[in-house]
A and B are shown apart, each in its own frame.
Chain A
């Protein structure tokens, strides 16, 4: 998940536009606007994603010095999420149901009542638990027109793509055999051959 330590596992994305001349000011404004507001127990959101400093999920003081490295924009994409341990939730909901039924003098709960109780239990638990915090490094190389995102997790990639688009108004194109071929210019004269490609089959022919 880190760009600065250990071995690297990442996904590349192509950026098909050049950054504006005033990218430093403009992008820093946009980044600050999307810096994560840590989840707290009073929030209704169950999950929130925003930027933090690269390699430090808890540093939210983002400025040009710690974000812009020459022609790179380096950030962390942090996601805060309420995660309730299943057995704990089950036990607390059961307790709450018993209290509620006794109070109402009834035997059963309706579906909506059960959902409401569960929500109330979760809300209460927020005061006793802390949200799960995950951060993944992102490095945007403006010279190469490439974004490297240091994970292969599809959920994390989906969150990052949404955040990136909202922040910079740029749609990233994921690397794949097709997009790399297109990006390296090889398809411009061989589009027809590319369209006609059929997978290789090395199976032994059965006589």
Chain B
């Protein structure tokens, strides 16, 4: 099979991943966990788009997954297409929108520090008002300024990439856990009935699910 066919035929797995994130976030009170990261705060927020062929349901609300509309859409056969997600990890909050079929990220708002505009130092302002430079020729100081700006740009870039990678690693670790469950026979036997109960708005036995999840993931790790 061609790569393009392999990609296209399994796009639905991304929607199921987003459904599973929603499910876990709701039954575990927005506290998910991966082996690599430990506990990670993760919840759906702002918007949730579900669809199946031409039918779609768009929900805009602070907690879009909690409303009855969202579950009703699931019961009509729709699955999440994209959702706003907030991740709380290492004391920092990050927001993003995840496009399920492409696993693509939109509007990733990182908790960066270096790219925040800093106020000019008072000394610089006073010197500027007095028309003074700091002891160097104008050309030299312009070059030094350009160098400083380039250095600052690269620092900003590294910080953004470090935080981006951190968020991506969380998503990839969760996706790996999801796939381990999805490709195990426990999915059809035990998890699907729970997802149906979830869609029906029924109470889920979170501890029982957590035990199944733990067992499958532990065995997979040992294998």
Does B associate with A?
A: yes
**Which residue in chain A gives the minimum CB-CB distance to B200?**
A204
In B166-188, the 8 Å CB interface with A consists of: 168, 172, 175-176, 179-180, 182-184
CB atoms of B79 and A200 under 8 A apart = yes
Tell me which residues across on chain B come within 8 A of A173, comparing CB atoms: 3
Segment of B7-15, B24-32, B132-140, B208-216 in the binding face: B7-15
Chain A 145-182 near chain B by CB (<8 Å), digits 1 or 0: 00010001000000000000000000001111111110
Stretch at the interface among B40-48, B102-110, B122-130: B102-110
- Show the binding face of B for A, using Cβ within 8 Å: 3, 6-7, 9-14, 16-17, 19, 74-77, 79, 99, 101-110, 115, 150, 153-154, 156-158, 160-161, 164-165, 168, 172, 175-176, 179-180, 182-184, 192, 195-196, 199-200, 223
- Pairs A–B under 8 Å by Cβ, sample size 17: A4-B156, A5-B115, A69-B154, A72-B161, A139-B157, A139-B161, A174-B7, A175-B104, A176-B102, A178-B13, A180-B175, A181-B175, A184-B176, A199-B79, A200-B79, A201-B77, A203-B75
**Nearest chain A CB to B149 CB, angstrom units:** 12
- A8, A175, A178: the one contacting B6 at CB < 8 Å is A178
**Pair A181/B153 contact, Cβ less than 8 Å:** no
Interface residue tally on A, bucketed by range: 35 or more
Residues of A within 8 A of B (CB): 3-5, 7-12, 55, 65-66, 69-70, 72, 74, 139, 141, 144, 148, 152, 173-181, 184, 186, 189-190, 193-194, 197, 199-204
Q: Specify the main secondary structure of chain B where it touches its partner.
A: helix
